[in-house]
Amino acid sequence: MKILILSANDFEDMELFVPYYRFKEEGFAVDVASKKRQTLEGRHDYEIEANRAFDEINPEEYDMLFLPGGKAPAKVRKEDSALQIVRHFIDKNKPIVTICHGPQIMISAGVVHGRHMTCWPEVSKELKEAGAIYEDKEVVVDGNIVSSRMASDLPLFLREVMKKATATV
């Protein structure tokens, strides 16, 4: 199992690191990609190394895509190379798991229409306008998409994410 995380500076620290450490606990390989290779700083001052740039990613190599939240998705959604990666996972029906503001990237990639999803409350209007079926629940699973609202949803989010991960192995 190889997982790709797309993020940028001002990521929501807990939402990135709790799944990141969970994946590592399970022995999964994890790459973190950003616009360029760099040290990313979270909103709460934790740091993580982006060991890949978006434009060097071959999405065929990855089994699952994780889009964490914070203010990072507002930056990631502007990068066409990141949106191409998202579309690959939709086209191939591979798991995309996302929390908080992460769905903004999926909105910009044009892949949420008709999909049951949740997100950070303030993103819900935009998500609905893009044609998603918004549900205010801790976690929503629709086929290959798992979405949650906020850090306190992480336990239920990760239960569903780990089901997808182990089903994919």
Element (H, E) at 146: strand 145-148
Interaction of residue 133 with a copy of itself, rule CB under 8 A: no
Closest CA to 16 of 4, 7, 27, 26: 7
We find the least distance from the C-beta atom of residue 15 to a copy of itself, in angstroms, to be 10
Q: Which is nearer to a copy of itself, 19 or 95 (CB)?
A: 19
Buried b (16+ CB within 10 A) or exposed e, 85-102: bbebbbeeebbbbbbbbb
How many residues comprise the chain?
Answer: 169
Angular region, 27: left φ>0, alpha ψ -120 to 50, beta rest: left
CA distances for 112 relative to 23, 30, 139, angstroms: 25, 25, 16
Q: Measured between alpha carbons, how far is 43 from 72 in angstroms, rounded to an integer?
A: 9
String marking each residue 3-42 x if it binds a copy of itself according to CB under 8 A = ----------xx--xx--xx-xx-----------------
We find the least distance from the C-beta atom of residue 103 to a copy of itself, in angstroms, to be 20
Which residue in the list 88, 100, 116, 119 is annotated as catalytic? 100
119 counts as catalytic: no
Closest CA to 63 of 36, 25, 23: 23
We find the least distance from the C-beta atom of residue 147 to a copy of itself, in angstroms, to be 17
Q: Which is nearer to a copy of itself, 12 or 79 (CB)?
A: 12
Torsion sign across C-alpha atoms 129, 130, 132, 136: negative
We find the least distance from the C-beta atom of residue 155 to a copy of itself, in angstroms, to be 4
Q: Which is nearer to a copy of itself, 22 or 128 (CB)?
A: 22
String marking each residue 63-82 x if it binds a copy of itself according to CB under 8 A = --------------------
100 counts as catalytic: yes
**By the criterion CB under 8 A, which residues form the site for a copy of itself?**
13-14, 17-18, 21-22, 24-25, 44-46, 154-156, 158-159, 162
Active site residues: 100-101
